[in-house]
Amino acid sequence: MDLRFNVFGVRFGIDPLLNIIPGMGNIVAAATSLYLMWIAFQLKVPTAIYMKMLWNIAVDYIFGVVPVIGIVFDVFYRANVKNFKLLETYFTPDIVIGEVVDGE
């Protein structure tokens, strides 16, 4: 959502592009950001982490609503990157991507 594209050394994702769609784009971006909240719920992180994540999503949504300025804000604020960094310490390092481990 935040770092997919690179134009002239500026990294951005689909989040600012969604804000081009008046009203709905920002709602879709915020709803997609809530997926990390679901992951946080699955990881049973402390309440303080939930609050920081909600704050990042709310700031991104509120400033993203402002025409033109919201698009520029979304390029540089990167709420999803901030939220992922908050969750990184709660991931189990033993998990290998793509490998299913049977407990039996």
Model pTM? 0.72
pLDDT reported for residue 97: 58
In 3D space, the residue among 6, 7, 32 whose CA is nearest the CA of residue 18 turns out to be 32
Q: What is the pLDDT of residues 21-67, one digit of tens each?
A: 777 777 888 888 888 898 888 888 999 999 999 999 999 888 888 87
For the record, the structure tokens of 25 come out as: 């784009």
Q: At what angle do helices 47-64 and 79-88 cross, to 10 degrees?
A: 170
Q: What is the mean pLDDT of the chain?
A: 77
